[in-house]
């Protein structure tokens, strides 16, 4: 665009703006005379409030916060009191925390494990739901008065699980002396006696309706985990 053209364009646009200014001023004067646009404090206030509400940043409600805090506080308080005073609750909590941390229990019956199908043949009232890694069922004996399932790993180590039922007059003699170690635990309300002798671990679990007797000749097995996950079918 040449200098001349630019100059002509400026003259034309200035004329248009002048004309618009005049029109605008006329409109303002007309509006001032119109009673609809006269000053009205009440209406202005309403309009301002509506604007404030529309654009206000919503503040969190204090009441709701206090309620949530009190509920949370009461829960914490209740849980703490229960943890301190109730033995059963402590045990359940400990069990829960143990389960959270221990991923080796992935070989439980719920998983797709080759032991699952084999254990279906087992007719005992209780069943081990945690089978240590590498162990496979190799023998199941179902008798009227006792049931046995045996697991074996590639190294030839064996876990022998037997359930002596209460439907028979039975004397069950346990070796009660000359153990290398002897300890008792209460898990899920069941008394568990753990003894070791010459690198063999013996678990005796007493329930209402059975004596469960488990023997391990593998020290690396989590036998307490095994005992914890013996459950009623």
Enumerate binding residues for other proteins (CB under 8 A): 66-67, 70-71, 74-75, 77-78, 81-82, 85-89, 91-92, 139, 141, 143-146, 148, 150, 158, 160, 162, 164, 166-178, 186, 188-191, 197-198, 200, 202, 206-208, 211, 213, 215-217
At its nearest, how many Å lie between other proteins and the CB of residue 227?
14
Q: Would you say 142 and 123 are in contact if contact means Cβ atoms under 8 Å apart?
A: yes
* Closer to other proteins by Cβ: residue 109 or 215: 215
Please give the C-alpha separations between residue 87 and each of 81, 90, 178, 189, 208, in angstroms, as whole numbers: 11, 5, 32, 10, 20
At its nearest, how many Å lie between other proteins and the CB of residue 117?
21
* Closer to other proteins by Cβ: residue 17 or 76: 76
At its nearest, how many Å lie between other proteins and the CB of residue 116?
21
* Closer to other proteins by Cβ: residue 14 or 231: 231
Would you call 22 exposed, middle or buried from its count of C-beta atoms within 10 A (0-12, 13-18, 19+)? exposed
Beta-strand pair 136-142/146-152: antiparallel
Beta-strand pair 181-187/158-165: unpaired
* Closer to other proteins by Cβ: residue 42 or 144: 144
Select from 226, 224, 182, 188 the least CA-distant residue to 206.
188
At its nearest, how many Å lie between other proteins and the CB of residue 211?
7
At its nearest, how many Å lie between other proteins and the CB of residue 81?
7
Select from 227, 128, 211, 214 the least CA-distant residue to 166.
211
DSSP state of 157: -
Select from 208, 218, 197, 213 the least CA-distant residue to 149.
213
Please give the C-alpha separations between residue 174 and each of 4, 149, 159, 212, 230, in angstroms, as whole numbers: 119, 19, 18, 12, 20
CB neighbourhood size of 45 (10 A):
10
At its nearest, how many Å lie between other proteins and the CB of residue 48?
34
């Amino acid at each position: 665009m040449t200098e001349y053209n630019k100059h002509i364009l400026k003259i034309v646009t200035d004329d248009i703006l002048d004309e618009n200014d005049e029109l605008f001023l006329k409109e303002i004067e007309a509006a001032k005379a119109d009673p609809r646009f006269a000053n009205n404090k009440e209406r202005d206030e309403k309009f301002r409030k509506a604007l404030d509400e529309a654009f206000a940043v919503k503040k969190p409600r204090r009441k709701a916060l206090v309620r949530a805090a009190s509920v949370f506080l009461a829960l914490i308080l209740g849980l703490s009191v229960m943890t301190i005073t109730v033995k059963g609750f402590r045990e359940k909590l400990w069990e829960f925390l143990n389960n959270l941390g221990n991923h080796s229990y992935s070989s439980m019956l719920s998983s797709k494990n080759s032991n699952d199908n084999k254990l279906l043949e087992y007719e005992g009232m209780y069943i081990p739901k945690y089978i240590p890694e590498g162990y496979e069922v190799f023998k199941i004996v179902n008798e009227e008065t006792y049931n046995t399932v045996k697991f074996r790993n590639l190294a030839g180590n064996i876990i022998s699980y037997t359930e002596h039922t209460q439907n028979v007059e039975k004397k069950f003699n346990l070796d009660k002396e000359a153990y290398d170690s002897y300890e008792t635990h209460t898990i899920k309300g069941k008394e568990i006696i753990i003894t070791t002798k010459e690198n063999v671990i013996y678990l005796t679990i007493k329930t209402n309706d059975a004596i469960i007797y488990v023997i391990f000749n593998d020290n690396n097995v989590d036998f307490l985990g095994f005992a914890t996950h013996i459950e009623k079918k």
